Amino acid sequence: PGARVAIMFPNVPQYLIAMLGTLRAGFTVVNVNLLYTPRELEHQLRDSGAEVLAILENFAHVYQSIGNPSLVQKVIVSSLGESLGPKGVLVNLIARHVKKIVPHWDFPCIKFNQALKIGRGHGYRRPTLNLDDIVFLQYTGGTTGVSKGAVLLHRNILANILQIEAWLDPALVSRQEQQLVFLCALPLTHIFALTACALLGMRKGGKLLLVVNPRDIGGFIKYLAQHPEINIFPGVNTLFHALIHRPEFLKVKFPNLLVTIGGGMAVQRKTAELWQKLTGVPIAQGYGLSETSPVVCVNTPFVKEFTGSIGMPVPSTDVLILDEEDQELPFGSPGEIAIKGPQVMTGYWNRPEETTQCMTPQGYFKSGDIGTMSVDGFVHIVDRKKDMIVVAGFKVFPNEVEEIIAQMPGVGECAVVGVPHRKLGEIVKAFIVKTDPNLSEVQVIAYCKEQMTTYKRPRKIIFIDEMPKSIVGKILRRHLRDA
């Protein structure tokens, strides 16, 4: 017990089999980001001390490129079609030879089904586990620097599942014993989808609809049209935005949709309002982090319209807004969101100093996010602390500027970063993906002049074809900052 198994699968049945098999054996799951480069994968495998890597053949070349075949003791490789029966042969043929999405790789490994066969031959011996054993090492950029593993115990994950269940159950009263259908479009290796889709879905005896590649928006919309039974739809702003701006999405019906959950990044009001108009269901925005298993706050599933807030803390969770000296701020004042509850990690794997930095003496985890709390307990996200821009001493929060620019006709997506300036310290720089090819820098600057005070306005406008995004579709401002 306690051995680490790294899993690098998209949303295919093999992920759930590998994850649950690892847990039933008493081991620890190390989820791996599918977008990792060889350098990033090597860092995570070394840092976690993973002994086994289970990987889809589409990504096997990434492991091979590390050039160290003994980095882990065993590598288990699967193909896209391996759990699909006879249909799998055709799926693999198309993946390898038609779409050519399986780059060449060649190293000693165990095939996935072979590993299952070997396992069946051993029989099952129930491991001795307790609530304080590690269940997941969930890697994150977190609140400081390099990617590190948030240590999540069985008690953390179980608590968060029960917290989300308590939030969801009132919305299910009228359904009686009907099976819930969860749409799993976000990658299950990400903590949001892992808990809110896979684990909560299994807790509720639900049906999980696995979407392998939601970035193929055309194919994803066809899939949605084929599944009107969807009840629970977790997503992120960029995914909702991409869907609602495709003409074919207008034809998709959601007669059974109960809850749309927005997380992972700030949901923009313009996107949320159009989503509700097209689907009939508002987005209940929530908030969480890898370090908190992940859910901290969420709006009620009975919300009638998009509120702009991230809701209230889930049961048994305390949230404070702290100043730079870790002192509690009054209602309405922006400060760092700090969290205390049974879902909060014990610390970062083998990083005691960084663990100490992010915890207060009272046991609150400092999130690195700036927020405010209203008198009635609703929390609003302002921005990431490290993304805050200081222009001539004035604080500028990118989310606010992005929200305003996103409402301008002709703007598809936008992101704002701070860049150094000799006199002002920093200035605001905006990156825009435009839907109107005639949109100009002059027009954007004029629009911002009408909408924002001087120090908040972007001084530079850069038009780009595509935003850099994380595995869940979160815009990566740091990549734009470094560009």
Same domain, 96 and 207: no
> What Cα–Cα distance (Å) separates residue 478 from each residue in 13, 387, 415, 428, 470?
33, 9, 10, 14, 11
Residue 356 and residue 260 in one domain:
yes
- For the segment 395-402, the average pLDDT, to the nearest whole number, is 93
> For residue range 236-260, what is the model confidence (pLDDT) as tens digits?
999 999 999 999 999 999 999 999 9
Q: What is the CATH number of the domain that holds 344?
A: 3.40.50.12780
Does residue 87 fall inside a structural domain? yes
| Residue 435 and residue 472 share a domain | yes
Which one of 384, 409, 444 terminates a domain? 384
pLDDT at residue 107 in the model: 96
- Return the CATH number at 20: 3.40.50.980
Looking at residue 416, its pLDDT comes to: 97
Please indicate, yes or no, whether residues 352 and 214 belong to a single structural domain of this protein. Answer: yes
> Does one domain contain both 244 and 378?
yes
Cα–Cα distance for residue pair 359/83, rounded to 1 Å: 43
Position 376 pLDDT exceeds 80: yes
Is residue 135 domain-resident?
Answer: no
**Percent of the chain with pLDDT strictly greater than 90:** 92
The whole-angstrom separation of Cα 36 and Cα 9 is 12
Kindly state the tokens that stand for 426: 């920093």
Q: Going edge to edge, which strands form the sheet with 411-421?
A: 411-421, 425-434, 458-463
Q: Give the pLDDT confidence score for residue 141 in this predicted structure.
A: 67
User: Is 294 within a domain?
Assistant: yes
Domain boundary among 348, 366, 384: 384
Q: Do 432 and 467 form a contact (C-beta atoms < 8 A)?
A: no
Band the pLDDT of 18: cuts 50, 70, 90: very high
How large is the average pLDDT for residues 276-288? 98
- Does 157 lie in the same domain as 18? no
173 belongs to a structural domain: yes
**Which residue reads 């968060």 in tokens?**
160
pLDDT tops 60 at residue 142: no
Q: Residue 405 belongs to what domain range?
A: 388-482
Check pLDDT > 70 for residue 298: yes
Q: pLDDT tier at 143 (50, 70, 90 boundaries)? A: very low
According to the model, what pLDDT value does residue 145 have?
A: 54
| φ, ψ (nearest 5 deg) of residue 419 | -125, 150
Domain for residue 143, yes or no?
no
Of the residues 353, 384, 415, the one at which a domain ends: 384
Q: What is the mean pLDDT of the chain?
A: 95
- In this structure, the answer to whether residues 187 and 237 fall within a common structural domain is yes
Beta bridge partners of 150: 138, 348
Question: Domain check: are 359 and 210 in the same one?
Answer: yes
The answer to whether residue 138 sits within a structural domain is no
Question: What mean pLDDT is predicted for residues 99-110?
Answer: 96
Q: Which pLDDT value is given to residue 345?
A: 98
**In the chain, how many domains are there?**
3
User: Do the strands 365-373 and 379-384 form a parallel or antiparallel pair, or are they unpaired?
Assistant: antiparallel
Q: Which DSSP letter does residue 32 get?
A: -
Report, as an integer, the average pLDDT of 279-297. Answer: 98
Burial (CB < 10 A; 0-12, 13-18, 19+), residue 467, is buried
Q: Do 13 and 58 belong together in one domain?
A: yes
Cα-based torsion angle of the residue sequence 62, 68, 69, 74 in order, rounded to the nearest 10 degrees: -80
pLDDT digits (tens, 9 = 90+) for 151-170: 999 999 999 999 999 999 99
- Picking from 235, 239, 240, the residue whose alpha carbon sits closest to that of residue 272 is 240
Tell me: pLDDT of 309 over 50: yes
Residue 300 falls within a domain, yes or no?
Answer: yes
Share of the chain above pLDDT 70, in %: 99
Q: Give the pLDDT score at 174.
A: 85
Whether 230 and 330 share a structural domain: yes
Same structural domain for residues 200 and 106? no
Residue with tokens 């720089």: 429
For residue 137, tell me if it sits in a domain: no
Predicted local confidence at residue 154, as pLDDT: 98
Label the pairing between strands 312-313 and 295-298. Answer: antiparallel
User: Looking at the predicted structure, is the pLDDT value of residue 344 above 50?
Assistant: yes
Q: Are residues 374 and 439 in the same domain?
A: no
Q: What is the CATH number of the domain that holds 403?
A: 3.30.300.30
What would the mean pLDDT of 190-210 be, rounded to a whole number? 97
